[in-house]
Amino acid sequence: MSKENMKTVEVYQKKAGVYLATTIEHDRLDPSKAKKKRERLQELIKRSFSSLPHNAKVFEIGSGDGANAKYIESLGFKVTASDTADAFLEAIQKQGLNTIKFNVLEDDFKEKYNGIFCWRVFVHFTRDDANEIIQKVYDNLEDNGIFIFNAINRETKSIDNEWVDFSNEYHMGADRYYNYFCKEELDNIIAQTKFKIQDFHEEGGEKNNKWLVYVLKK
């Protein structure tokens, strides 16, 4: 586990409640935009996991408030939601979800899954972290399993990484480590496994290219 991620996890442990509150307030500023963003993500999840059988086992890395895990469960899957911060775990449990405390860089998966979902989490991983995690996910997916994740596009930034807090829905009152990835870089990491890129697109931001979105198949 990198020192950058370790320090960031410590911040979330202390400040996750603030993150949850500011996210709610931010969505209230423009409910229509928040609704469209949520629906777009749900459509991606539904389409990408459509090949999985009913009652397939899906694991979410970094569930936050549990909303995405709850949607995945509504599609007929058996979901295990996870996070590292107590406030997030409490929010997830209120959704009635199977919930565990889990750090993907330190903890082992207890079983193999048909699908693994990891949304807006790679922002806090170094390149070595990302390499380790993608291989770890591959090893813990069943054959034909699906992995969905996204990362911030380096092309939209002037630096490779930074310690920063934000004034919008990501505001927490403490700096966290943010790392930005080039598509070529992630493609090379993925190529070191036997994953196949089933789908890729860019989305978000003023030029619709803020996020690199991957759907990988084992």
Look at residue 168 and tell me whether its pLDDT is greater than 80.
Answer: no
Alpha helix positions (H), 30-165: 31-48, 67-74, 86-93, 127-139
Q: Which residues contact 56 (CB under 8 A, 6 or more apart)?
A: 49, 77, 78, 114, 115
What the chain holds in terms of domains, given with CATH numbers, is: 3-217 (3.40.50.150)
DSSP 3-state of 79: strand
CB count, 10 Å around CB of 4? 19
Q: pLDDT tens digits, residue range 86-104?
A: 999 999 999 999 999 999 9
The pair of structure tokens assigned to 174 is: 């403490």
Q: pLDDT tens digits, residue range 31-88?
A: 998 899 999 999 999 999 999 999 999 999 999 999 999 999 999 999 999 999 999 9
